[in-house]
Amino acid sequence: MLAEVLNRAAKEFPDRIAYVSAEGWGATFGQLDQFSDECAVWLSSRAGVREGDVVSLVMPSTIDYIVLFGALAKLGATTAGVNSLLTARERAGALECADPSLVIVDPALSDGLPASVPVLEIVSADNAEDMVRSMRIPNEAPPPLPPDPQRAFTICFTSGSTGMPKGALFRDEQIRAIAASDTGGSGAWGHGNRDAKGRVVSRRANSRHRRVGHRGQRRMGSRHAQHRVDPIRARRRHDEDPVDAGERGHHPPHGSLAGPDRDAVDPAVPHARAQRWTDTDRAHAASARLRPL
């Protein structure tokens, strides 16, 4: 969906400023679309990024981030953005969880990166024309992707306040559902619900001021089930031994991001969540002499 939004905005408002940096310079909708096109071609031809790949962005929330996110969306790759405020240990945990095929990083945030994954460094631009300049092929654009509601779009990480950051996978259909909710179903920003003073508010924000009856709760539950996100689960470290779930009395930590050689996540299971073994878990397992799987 992001690729469509960038393209449409560039056609309708090519010279309108879309973003103003902290330094005061701005980038237009036309530049965002063109430069993300050029970046997508570079990532495909020079870095080998393909549809379905997971690419992590470890960088501040700058205009370059937006261009890269758009470029990856135009290739059908999944963007896993890692918060630039995380510690090196937390970054490593998030990247282990996402299991990316490529990491694009700001040089100041290179600590904690996995040694086995290709890394591209990028320095944030100080003007619009230099946005992601080192990763662009001028005047080129990737072929448009066919619609696919199940195409993975992004992995969002939790703050890690109760442990290491955990991820949730959002697909195209879920992003479209969020956009429809925020725009009141019109599909255009600025046409959503309005509050008593006429200000545009999202349907979700507006719903906080209304009582939701039983029918509304059922509709919300149905929509939640329809657009449920998939949990992304970190791999266990080699020094962390699993134990039998039946003997332990609750469900064990899960494996990694679903893939050809990994157990798939069943999003219909309510308890499916990211979880890691702790020292307390290992001590409990040792004291109970539970048998490893």
Map out the domains of the chain with their CATH numbers: 2-174 (3.40.50.12780), 237-293 (no CATH)
Tell me how far the alpha carbon of residue 243 is from its chain's centroid: 31
Residues 261-274 have pLDDT tens digits of 333 333 333 333 33
Tell me the pTM.
0.68
Residues 58-72 have pLDDT tens digits of 999 999 999 999 999
pLDDT band at 181 (very low <50, low <70, confident <90, very high): confident
Q: From CA 189, how far away is CA 29, in angstroms rounded?
A: 15
Give pLDDT, residue 265. 38
| Higher pLDDT pick, 30 / 166 | 30
Give pLDDT, residue 184. 76
Give 191's contacts (C-beta < 8 A, 6+ positions apart).
183, 184, 200
Give pLDDT, residue 163. 77
Residue type at position 68: L
Q: From CA 128, how far away is CA 27, in angstroms rounded?
A: 5
Residue 277 pLDDT more than 50?
Answer: no
Q: From CA 20, how far away is CA 40, in angstroms rounded?
A: 23
Residue type at position 80: A
**Parallel, antiparallel or unpaired: strands 152-157 and 78-82:** parallel
Three-state DSSP at 105 gives: strand
SS (H, E, C) 233-245: CCCCCCCCCCCCH
By CB atoms closer than 10 A (0-12, 13-18, 19+), residue 140 is middle
Q: Please measure the distance between the N-terminal and C-terminal CA atoms of the chain and give it in whole angstroms.
A: 42
**Residue 83 near residue 167, CB atoms below 8 Å:** no
Give 84's contacts (C-beta < 8 A, 6+ positions apart).
58, 59, 60, 61, 106, 109
Residues 74-115 have pLDDT tens digits of 999 999 999 999 999 999 999 999 999 999 999 999 998 988
Q: From CA 241, how far away is CA 293, in angstroms rounded?
A: 9
Give pLDDT, residue 202. 45
Angle at the Cα of 271 (from 97 to 233), degrees rounded to 5?
Answer: 5
Residue 214 pLDDT more than 70?
Answer: no
| Higher pLDDT pick, 148 / 255 | 148
Give pLDDT, residue 68. 98
CA quadruple 66, 71, 74, 75: dihedral sign: negative
Give 226's contacts (C-beta < 8 A, 6+ positions apart).
177
- Round the average pLDDT of the chain to a whole number and report it: 75
Q: From CA 58, how far away is CA 56, in angstroms rounded?
A: 6
